[in-house]
Amino acid sequence: MEACYSSNYWGRHFQELGHTVDLIPPHQIKPFVVGNKNDHNDAIAIAEAPRRPKATFVRVKTLEQQDIQSLDRIPDRLLKSRTAVVNQLRGLLAEYGAILEKTINAVRKEIPAILEDPDNRLTSTAREFVHSLHQELMRTDRQVKSNEEKTNQLLSQNDDYIRLRTIPGIGLIVGRGLIGSIFLRHLIKIGAYLFSLSLPPIQFRFSINTALAYIRLL
């Protein structure tokens, strides 16, 4: 099957029916699509691509892996949303003469004092929307913390994760990403996978040559 939207669900369903399921990445299927893209041509390409000698496959994720990976991806949106709220707060308050530091901790700390200060230039309308944005920031903080607690609770019960953490160089972020995406019982190209996590090894350049060194503990 092509590794696409809902493929893990259908893969688990077919496994329950007794089939062996391997998922093939879309970029390996695309070169075999002949003609216009439609269901018929896609199906032929999906049947053709796995026959290639260098084809690689992705294992179907278990429900436990699906939970961990889902919880690992949710913070990406939450953190982007939180950054947007902080930047908007700083920008709006600057128009009323209230200048805040760029750090998120400064924003959390100073907003209540600004709202309670009767001598600043904030109008009643401005106080309302600043209060609303501040509450949104606090809600997002609570969501991020709750998501992190749920993830850690799942990982604390995962034997593979516990073994991974004993390896030098494997920290919280890398361990969580590995558990959510691969099966430790199968060989993987660890360097390429870490690049996909945006966690590449440190590089040293000597003239025109580049050498890969260690990975920071994350």
DSSP-assigned beta bridge partners for residue 203: 212
Best CA proximity match to 30, nearest among 44, 19, 17 = 44
Matching residue, tokens 């494997």 = 170
List the pLDDT tens digit at each of the 218 positions of the chain. Answer: 898 889 999 999 999 999 999 899 999 999 999 988 888 999 999 999 999 988 888 889 889 888 988 998 899 999 999 999 999 999 999 999 888 888 899 999 999 999 998 888 899 999 999 999 999 999 999 999 999 999 989 888 888 888 888 888 788 778 887 887 765 444 345 555 555 555 556 666 666 666 666 555 55
Contact 26, 142 (CB under 8 A): no
Taking the C-alpha atoms of residue 215 and residue 175, their distance in angstroms, rounded to an integer, is 13
Task: Tell me the two tokens of residue 64.
Answer: 């436990």
